[in-house]
């Protein structure tokens, strides 16, 4: 049994036991193999957009002796994937815009899944806001640092679970940027992440203000807004 990275283990922890997992952009199929091999999921579908990576995934599945329980599909996003009842859709390790494009391109298939596990690598605020606008709501979130890089994952459903604790004190843009469940949980990783962001934005703002007549007043105002939001988030998670 191959060991998953901490990031993928975090993703695996978001998948509900007993569900059929569909991993789009599965790489070497490590996540699906782990879930099926450990009895968390009865079966899985692994897809890739290119034949080479899909062949690598198929080889890993065969080596694990799970070809009868994990299928592979050559597919651009969800286009060639057939959702299975009680299914979990996993999109992990890609940018938010690509994830949203995959969902948008196959919007008729998205509601056929029971839950969704997303692990975006960029533009977190855009991802969370867009999911809410699509009618997908964050049920749970987790985060961690792996080799000094911050990662987070969210599990969504089509049912709004409501707010968590005192999170409504913060504007939606701050909740979208850092994650409502992560902020409410006040864990070590999100506190470290916000602290790092605050330090970075304060430095950028100082540098922007130090350049006279640069004509970039809009950028300075934008950075000041980021600093203000970071300070609000930092104060919230550290009280």
**Tens-level pLDDT at each residue, the chain (239 residues):** 678 999 999 999 999 999 999 999 999 999 999 999 999 999 999 999 999 999 999 999 999 999 999 999 999 999 999 998 889 999 999 999 999 999 999 999 999 999 999 999 999 999 999 999 999 999 999 999 999 999 999 999 999 888 777 999 999 999 999 999 999 999 999 999 999 999 999 999 998 887 755 556 778 899 999 999 999 999 999 99
Closest to 24 (Cα-Cα) out of 86, 109, 85: 109
pLDDT given at position 214: 56
Q: The whole model's pTM is what?
A: 0.94
Phi, psi of 93 (to 5 degrees): 80, 25
CA dist 190 → 152, 204, 233, 235, 236 (Å): 9, 21, 10, 12, 11
pLDDT given at position 208: 86
Buried-exposed string 15-41: b where 16+ CB fall within 10 A, e elsewhere: bbeebbbbbbbbbbbbbbbbbbbeebb
């Amino acid at each position: 049994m191959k060991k998953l990275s901490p990031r993928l283990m975090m993703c695996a922890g978001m998948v509900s036991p007993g569900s059929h997992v569909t991993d789009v952009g599965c790489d070497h199929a490590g996540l699906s193999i782990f879930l099926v091999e450990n009895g968390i999921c009865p079966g899985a579908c692994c897809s890739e957009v290119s034949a080479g990576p899909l062949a690598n995934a198929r080889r890993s599945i065969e080596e694990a002796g799970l070809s009868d329980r994990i299928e592979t599909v050559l597919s651009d996003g969800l286009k060639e994937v057939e959702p299975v009842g009680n299914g979990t859709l996993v999109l992990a390790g890609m940018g938010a815009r690509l994830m949203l494009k995959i969902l948008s391109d196959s919007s008729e298939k998205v509601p056929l899944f029971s839950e969704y596990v997303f692990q975006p690598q960029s533009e977190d605020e855009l991802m969370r806001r867009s999911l809410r606008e699509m009618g997908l709501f964050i049920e749970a979130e987790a985060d961690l640092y792996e080799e000094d890089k911050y990662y987070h994952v969210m599990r969504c459903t089509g049912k709004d679970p409501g707010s968590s604790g005192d999170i409504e004190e913060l504007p939606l843009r701050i909740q979208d940027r850092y994650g409502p469940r992560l902020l409410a949980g006040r864990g070590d990783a999100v506190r470290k992440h916000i602290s790092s962001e605050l330090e970075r934005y304060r430095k950028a703002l100082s540098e922007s203000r130090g350049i006279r007549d640069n004509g970039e007043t809009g950028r300075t105002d934008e950075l000041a807004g980021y600093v203000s939001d970071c300070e609000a988030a930092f104060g919230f998670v550290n009280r």
